[in-house]
Chains A and B, each alone.
Chain A
Amino acid sequence: AQSVTQLGSHVSVSEGALVLLRCNYSSSVPPYLFWYVQYPNQGLQLLLKYTSAATLVKGINGFEAEFKKSETSFHLTKPSAHMSDAAEYFCAVSGTLNTGFQKLVFGTGTRLLVSP
């Protein structure tokens, strides 16, 4: 079974500061890992995904994440926060079993607050 833990329900940064959102996963099989962003009253949008290719994954809006198997982590970072990055971020994991069905397991989310 897979699971993810997102450390910190809220993270506050100043505009221009480094953004670091933490995600640790648990999986009995090699995982696929995802980060999604949700703006208020909108659906979730895929930021980036890890599918066992490069361990450093670059996504949209300047975000990137690094897969670290030894630490079972997939933390999301952005060098310089913008006001428009304020949103809720979800980490998710799925297994690589080829069953014809993919079930994503989501973390509880981290709300990013950006102050001027």
Chain B
Amino acid sequence: SQTIHQWPATLVQPVGSPLSLECTVEGTSNPNLYWYRQAAGRGLQLLFYSVGIGQISSEVPQNLSASRPQDRQFILSSKKLLLSDSGFYLCAWSAGAGGYGYTFGSGTRLTVV
């Protein structure tokens, strides 16, 4: 069966520090991968998605970047965090087109102080 792992679960980082959040998927190949952010009191904002290794699409301009160095690995990064980067970050995968839906990771709570 397929599983998705996301870490760390919580993170407190000072303003201006770098960020690296990692997500891996097991039990499938060539998944579509997604990074979402939930800010307090707001809905889900799609940040990046990837349909293959090295293929990254950005939904909104921001202080973050994403990379996909391996088929089942998706990394969210920042060189210098801002206070506004605080939020709950979710990784997800899907099997492609059709009615599969997404499977989400357990999320990372990022607090920038």
A contact set with B: CB distance below 8 Å: 32, 34, 36, 41-46, 49-52, 90, 92, 94, 96-104, 106-109
Contact = CB atoms under 8 A, between A and B. Distances in A.
What is the predominant secondary structure among interface residues of chain A facing chain B? loop
A104 to B, nearest CB: 6
A47 B30 CA distance: 25
Contact of A42 (B32, B94, B106): B106
A36 B102 CA distance: 10
B97 A100 contact: yes
Given A100-B51, A101-B51, A102-B94, A43 B107 contact: yes
Contacts, number: 69
Interface of B: 6, 32, 42-44, 46, 49, 51, 88, 90, 92, 94, 96-107, 109
A22 to B, nearest CB: 15
Contacts of A42: 106-107
Contacts of B46: 103
Nearest to A95: B97
A109 B46 CA distance: 15
A101 B97 contact: yes
A106 B107 contact: no
A32 B106 contact: no
A51 B46 CA distance: 23
Given A32-B99, A41-B88, A41-B107, A107 B43 contact: yes
A49 B101 contact: yes
Contacts of B99: 32, 49-52, 94, 96
Contact of A108 (B43, B88, B94, B107): B43
Given A44-B90, A106-B44, A98 B103 contact: no
B98 A98 contact: yes
A113 to B, nearest CB: 15
30 contacts: A32-B98, A32-B99, A41-B107, A41-B109, A42-B106, A43-B6, A43-B90, A44-B44, A44-B90, A44-B102, A44-B104, A46-B101, A46-B102, A51-B99, A52-B99, A90-B43, A94-B99, A96-B98, A96-B99, A98-B98, A100-B51, A101-B32, A101-B51, A101-B96, A102-B96, A102-B97, A102-B98, A104-B101, A104-B102, A109-B43
